Structure 1
Amino acid sequence: MKINKSWLIIVCLVLTISLNINIVKAENNTPNDRIKEATKVLKEISKQEDADSLTHLLKEAKGVVIFPKVIKGGFMLGGRYGKGLLLKHNAVNNTWYGPYFVEMKGLSYGFQIGVESIGLVLVITNERGLNNFKEDNLTLGGGLSISAGPIGRNTEAATDINLEAAIYSYSMSKGAFAGASIEGANVNNDKEANKSYWQNSLTPTEIFTKKAYDQRITPLINTIEELISTAD
Structure 2
Amino acid sequence: MKKIRILGLFFLLGSLAMPLSAQSKKDQKIMKDADRAVKTLLNVNSELREYFDNSAGAAVFPNVGKGGFIIGGASGNGVLYHAGKKVGMASLKAVSIGFQAGGEALIEVIFFETDQDVEKFKEGNYEFDAGVSATMVETGVSVDAEYRDGVAVFTYAKKGLMAEVSVGGQKFNFTPF
Shift of the alpha carbon at 1:97? 3.2
Greater strand share, structure number: 2
Contact 2:70 2:98 in 1 (8 A): yes
Instruction: Indicate the residue corresponding to 1:141 in structure 2.
Output: 129
* Corresponding letter in the other structure for 1:166: G
Q: In the TM superposition, what whole-angstrom CA distance separates every residue of 1:121-174 from its partner, at most 9, and x where no partner exists? A: 1111123421211222111238xx7442486858xx76x765444111112223
Note the residue ranges of structure 2 that are not aligned, 5 or more in a row: 1-23, 161-165
Q: In the TM superposition, what whole-angstrom CA distance separates every residue of 1:67-123 from its partner, at most 9, and x where no partner exists? A: 11111111111111100110112xxxxxx2332101111211221112211111111
Q: 2:114 aligns with which of 126, 142, 149?
A: 126
Instruction: Indicate the residue corresponding to 2:53 in structure 1.
Output: 59
Contact 1:57 1:125 in 2 (8 A): no
- Taking the aligned partners of 2:150 and 2:167, their CA distance within structure 1 comes to 13
TM-score w.r.t. the length of structure 2 is 0.69
* Corresponding letter in the other structure for 1:139: E
Quote the sequence identity (%). 24
* Corresponding letter in the other structure for 2:61: F
* Corresponding letter in the other structure for 2:171: N
Matches within 5 A, 1:26-175: 30-48=26-44, 50-52=45-47, 54-89=48-83, 96-141=84-129, 146-149=132-135, 162-174=146-158
Contact 1:138 1:186 in 2 (8 A): yes
Q: In the TM superposition, what whole-angstrom CA distance separates every residue of 1:186-226 from its partner, at most 9, and x where no partner exists? A: 00124xxx5xxx4xxxxxxxxxxxxxxxxxxxxxxxxxxxx
Contact 2:134 2:152 in 1 (8 A): yes
- Taking the aligned partners of 1:77 and 1:102, their CA distance within structure 2 comes to 24
Contact 1:140 1:182 in 2 (8 A): no
Greater helix share, structure number: 1
- Taking the aligned partners of 2:171 and 2:125, their CA distance within structure 1 comes to 7
* Corresponding letter in the other structure for 1:36: K
